[in-house]
Structure 1
Amino acid sequence: MKQFPFLVHGRKELLADVEQVRQEAKKMKALSGVLVSIFMNRADPAMLQDMKQMICAAFPEAQIIGAVSTVEIIDGCLIENDIVVNFTLMECSSVRVMSFDFRMEDSEAAGRSLLAVLDADRHAAAVEVISAGFHLNINPFFRQASRARREILFFGGLADDGSLGQNGMVFTQDALLRHGIAVAIFSGKKLHVQTSSSFGWKPLGRFMTVTKMDGEFCVQELDGKPAMDVFERYLDIGNDDRFLTEALTFPFYFERNGVVLARHPRRCLKDGSVMFGADFRVGERVRLAYGDPGEIIDNALVLQNKMASFRPEAVFVVSCVARWMLLGSDTEQELSITRRLAPSAGFYAYGEFMRTADGQIMVSNMTLVLIGMREGLGKDSVRRAPSQPLHLRPHRSIMAHLVHFIERTTQELEESNAALYRLARIDYLTGLLNRGETENRLRQLMAEFQLCRQPVAVFMLDVDDFKLVNDRFGHAMGDCILQLLAGIIREVSDKAHAVAGRWGGDEFLAVCPDLSLEEARGAAEQIRKHVADMDPLSEKDRVTVSIGVVAARTGDTAETVFARVDRALYEAKQLRGKNTVVIREEP
């Protein structure tokens, strides 16, 4: 496999480049496939058609794929306002380019069509997908394609039209689409493909919950408030013409199925909704994020080392436009890692396509993706050299220090919030849940019981003659007994998967989901016996507890259950002589 990327300014220059590649192709043992990738900064159908004709005149078998993009990449260099033409020549592999016009078939049907092709090709190794149109619902397409063999890698991105966020354009050798996708399928017994990615964004501020959406890409409300409020309140970014350029580098950060994802804002609507570059789901918890230039550069070297060990013969690059906007003049520092790998070309996208370990194809944002390819074992290249240290320019170094400050203060804020959260729900003396949190858990479990009818048992206990203990031995001893009792309750409750808390004073309540009444009686008896065996007082004085046990019934609420278990406890203390367990089954 050989790759030849060129920066093209005009027709004459392209003719010379095509001829150079044709001569190189003659030196190869065989020519089994030719892919020509074109990335151009503006939509010019006439120029594109002329380019296709020149390429196909020299390589009739050539498969062509490309897009209009804001910024292009060639051999680790950033290219603006120009055209990149990349020739990938294969000796024992093949490539097939297809297009899907979403005006002719919907997203899911297109995905099924691609899946059928991949299922029929047992040597398919990788699929490049380039889409045009932010309004396209590409998720059904990816859901179908995700059913393909897991060893098939997917990469690519969402193209715009070169004007930061407008509808894009993709093309193949025989199609030009503004509402669809172009696909290149790489296939071969000896074809090896590796993808590696770099992130570098970190969470900032508090968690927010997506509470209302319009479709998959439009977030209407976060925590019940317009999504735009977040950008206005925390970033001082208004709903005006500057929104995209100012908000693009502050994505939302969250986890889905164990994978960290980012979603960058694309535009805001009059009602305060915000459109994003990829999908969300109601109920997902998100945070704002910021880019750490230092970590981005550090990750670039890690990415380089991973790809160097693969020994690629060709490298494809897809990066998020927000990385370019954040790094500015340091962008080429990050891209320079590809110069030591293999000839490379690519583009900046508004969404990067990747496949996770479980086979799901998804849209990410803020990510740099390198795709290495080789035929056979690959060969060492003079282009490879030991990693060189990358250095941020002075203004980026200052920003890196500010980022460190934000990171550390955010960490301290998280720790403080965690401590406050614990104080708000944990009883300080016993370490069990406090009254408010115990009551909340009781209400939640009762609501679940009414839906699924799984058994729920509740028991309540208190220390017999606890006032006398305090009077004779002091409150310090009383606190000690409560702590010992809490330890016993915790041990038994954990084994029974119960929720236990201090109800108040010397009273404790435990809610036991999935336990029958008899099983709850057994747990209560364990607690009673363990307490009776304690010896914190004198030889003549013993600590005992009384316990009431009830089971949830149809129509029960937290209040009715509590009333019954309170009566059961009263019976254990007043009618059964204390140090006993009473089950109350009747109303």
Structure 2
Amino acid sequence: MKQILVELKEMPELNIQVEEIIKTWESGKYKQVLFHIYSGMEAEMFTAYAAKRLQKLFPEADIVGTMSAGEIMDGHLIKKGILIGALFLESTTAEVFRYDNVKGNEPSVGRKIREQLDSIPEIKAAELLLPGTEFDTKELFDEIDECDKSIRIFGGYSGGHTMNSPVHYVFDASGIMFDSILVTTFAGSDFHIDIDKVIGWEPLGVPFTVTKADGHKLIELDNRPASGIYEKFLEIDRRLDSNAKEGYTFPLLAEYNGEEWLRSAIHIEEDGSLNMHGSVMEGMDIQLSYGNPASIVKQVNERLEKVHDFKPQAIFIYSCIVRKAFWERYVDLELKPFGQLCSTTGFYTWGEVIRDTESGEIVEHNVTQLSIAMREGEPSDEELPAVQVDDSVLKGPAAQMRRLTSLVYTTMEELQKAQKDLQVLNEKLRLMADRDALTGLFNRGKTEDIIYGLLDETAKNGTPLSLLMIDIDYFKSVNDEYGHHTGDLVLKETAALLDDAANRVPDGHAGRWGGEEFFIILPDTRSEDALSIADTLRKKVENHDFPGVGHLTISLGVITVSKRVNAKDMFLRVDKALYDAKEGGRNCIVKVEM
């Protein structure tokens, strides 16, 4: 495998500019050449001419191209223009497939792509080039997801050099396409590929929940217009034509299936909704984020180590236009080291695509850098240089930005830690308010609340509710003979036995009523089932060996209600049932109905 890059100039003729590519092809060493063309030109005429002219020079070659928001050549962003990458293959088979009329037909196109991928022997990877983000990509990708999970999938969305560019296209030698997808497959036992992503943006502020969304449109966060997240925290006026530009370096960070996603806004609509790069889904937790140079550099360096060890022969970089805007004149910072490893090309996208290796799901990303390392055969014995991002070049405002983001990051960490500590404390306070300090069971107040709530449900739908009121027999004698410390241990062990019995019923609960009296609450439990549970519990307690005391027994009153009742009368009746059990000789059960 070998990759040769040419930055196309107006002069001289194309055949002279690609002379090295011609010589390499004519050497006979390679069985195939695959061309990628990245065009920063909104005017399609010159782009189409370059693709057709290249096809005439190499009639047996496959050509794929995309409009680009920035062209990457050997670790550098070149001046806006056209970049040609020639990938020479010795044993790998690359094929290009075009799918037209995608919009409105996303499921059927997705099925065709899936079927095509699954039909190719020894397929290892597939690249998707898409014109903009106007498709219903969820329907498209849901179908492609079903292909063989071993196939690595990556790609990017076309788009112009500016965020308000209205033109998005892909192309091949036949011409420019605005409603087509180009799929390039790589197959062969000697082909190896390593793909991963780098983000480096950090959460900022509190999370919000997506309560209303439609594809790429984010409508509501926490049941309020989604634009509020930008208007309130970044003071961006939705009435400005450039509203999204003001905030796209502060994308929205979401977590889905354990993966971090970033979504940048294309435009803030007048109705307060956000038109996003990439789909969003209801139920997602989402929050503002900011680019932290230190985190970006750390993640890129971690990725560089893996790429270095992979020993690639060619690298593609597909990186988001928002990263280009974020770095400005330092844009080469996170690109240059890749170019020091081997020939590196790619483009700045309007969105990135990568398949999750575990779930097989194709995920859209924004503000993300994809690096695709490739080689044929086993790794070379030749040592590659050790490379890292050199962020010492950051000067002036950029250095101040690095320090400021470090301050923000550290402050956010401290605030998040304080918030977590507060949440833990609040949970402890809540438990203290609801729980009996000695036994850990619900206290009387919480037990009453649960019973009253379940009585209301029973009154509405007639679902049976059974209650067990329990008293430890001769408990006063335990305290008198063995002391209160031993008595407390008896209460704790009895509580554990009661809690175990309650948990055998869905949504069952145990609570301490006071002293040695307890309740077990059994929702949706009939009288005969409640009696069975009560008798099993009675026997279990009777057979239990309480340390230092020996065997004890309990008495139980059982009541079942299945209609609206007076709560006070119910408590009196189950209390009377418990009293009768104790008067009847203890270690027994008395049942009452209402």
- Give the alignment's TM-score, normalised by structure 2: 0.82
Aligned positions, number: 574
Deviations 1:282-329 (CA, angstroms, capped at 9, x unpaired) = 223333333332111111111011112222111111122233333444
Compute the displacement of 1:368 (Å): 1.6
Alignment match, 1:245: 245
User: Within 5 A, what are the aligned runs for 1:39-438?
Assistant: 39-102=38-101, 106-167=105-166, 168-213=168-213, 215-239=214-238, 240-356=240-356, 357-380=358-381, 384-388=384-388, 390-391=390-391, 393=394, 394-398=399-403, 399-424=405-430, 427=434, 429=437, 431-432=440-441
Compute the displacement of 1:400 (Å): 2.1
RMSD: 4.1
Contact 1:459 1:509 in 2 (8 A): yes
In structure 2, C-alpha distance between the alignment counterparts of 1:371 and 1:525, rounded to whole Å: 67
In structure 1, C-alpha distance between the alignment counterparts of 2:333 and 2:92, rounded to whole Å: 33
Contact 2:556 2:581 in 1 (8 A): no
Alignment match, 1:4: 4
In structure 2, C-alpha distance between the alignment counterparts of 1:260 and 1:109, rounded to whole Å: 29
Distance 1:542 1:92, change over 3 A: closer
Distance 1:526 1:412, change over 3 A: farther
Compute the displacement of 1:220 (Å): 1.8
Look up the equivalent residue of 2:331 and give its one-letter code: T
In structure 2, C-alpha distance between the alignment counterparts of 1:438 and 1:379, rounded to whole Å: 73
Distance 1:385 1:530, change over 3 A: same
Give the 3-state SS of the residue equivalent to 1:576 in structure 2: helix
Look up the equivalent residue of 1:156 and give its one-letter code: G
Contact 2:4 2:87 in 1 (8 A): yes
Moved more, 403-412 or 124-133: 403-412
Look up the equivalent residue of 1:58 and give its one-letter code: L
Compute the displacement of 1:376 (Å): 1.4
In structure 1, C-alpha distance between the alignment counterparts of 2:180 and 2:531, rounded to whole Å: 64
Contact 1:31 1:90 in 2 (8 A): yes
Moved more, 215-224 or 518-527: 518-527
- Give the alignment's TM-score, normalised by structure 1: 0.83
Moved more, 93-102 or 284-293: 284-293
Compute the displacement of 1:124 (Å): 1.8
Pair 1:35-2:30 in alignment: no
Contact 2:102 2:109 in 1 (8 A): no
Moved more, 514-523 or 5-14: 514-523
Deviations 1:478-521 (CA, angstroms, capped at 9, x unpaired) = 98876665544445556767553647656766566898876765
In structure 2, C-alpha distance between the alignment counterparts of 1:73 and 1:445, rounded to whole Å: 69
Compute the displacement of 1:221 (Å): 1.7
Contact 1:456 1:515 in 2 (8 A): yes
Give the 3-state SS of the residue equivalent to 1:410 in structure 2: helix
In structure 1, C-alpha distance between the alignment counterparts of 2:353 and 2:451, rounded to whole Å: 41
Question: 1:575 pairs with 580, 583, 586, which one?
Answer: 580
Percent identical pairs in the alignment equals 25
Look up the equivalent residue of 1:159 and give its one-letter code: S
In structure 2, C-alpha distance between the alignment counterparts of 1:235 and 1:446, rounded to whole Å: 47
Compute the displacement of 1:198 (Å): 1.8
In structure 2, C-alpha distance between the alignment counterparts of 1:205 and 1:488, rounded to whole Å: 45
In structure 2, C-alpha distance between the alignment counterparts of 1:504 and 1:267, rounded to whole Å: 59
Deviations 1:418-469 (CA, angstroms, capped at 9, x unpaired) = 4324533553525456756995799699989x99x9x997545465699989
Which runs of no fewer than 5 residues in structure 2 stay unpaired?
Answer: none
Give the 3-state SS of the residue equivalent to 2:249 in structure 1: coil
Deviations 1:106-159 (CA, angstroms, capped at 9, x unpaired) = 111111221222222112221111112322112222112112111111001122
Distance 1:440 1:105, change over 3 A: same
Compute the displacement of 1:570 (Å): 2.5
Which runs of no fewer than 5 residues in structure 1 stay unpaired?
Answer: none
In structure 1, C-alpha distance between the alignment counterparts of 2:290 and 2:591, rounded to whole Å: 57
Give the 3-state SS of the residue equivalent to 1:12 in structure 2: coil
In structure 1, C-alpha distance between the alignment counterparts of 2:272 and 2:474, rounded to whole Å: 58
In structure 2, C-alpha distance between the alignment counterparts of 1:287 and 1:582, rounded to whole Å: 57
Instruction: Please identify the structure whose Cα radius of gyration is greater.
Output: 2
In structure 1, C-alpha distance between the alignment counterparts of 2:321 and 2:451, rounded to whole Å: 46
Look up the equivalent residue of 2:97 and give its one-letter code: M
Contact 2:308 2:386 in 1 (8 A): no
Give the 3-state SS of the residue equivalent to 1:302 in structure 2: helix
In structure 2, C-alpha distance between the alignment counterparts of 1:574 and 1:437, rounded to whole Å: 20
Moved more, 190-199 or 523-532: 523-532
Look up the equivalent residue of 2:264 and give its one-letter code: H
Look up the equivalent residue of 1:154 and give its one-letter code: I
In structure 2, C-alpha distance between the alignment counterparts of 1:567 and 1:487, rounded to whole Å: 26
In structure 2, C-alpha distance between the alignment counterparts of 1:464 and 1:306, rounded to whole Å: 65
In structure 1, C-alpha distance between the alignment counterparts of 2:172 and 2:571, rounded to whole Å: 75
Look up the equivalent residue of 2:376 and give its one-letter code: E
In structure 2, C-alpha distance between the alignment counterparts of 1:5 and 1:407, rounded to whole Å: 44
Compute the displacement of 1:266 (Å): 2.6
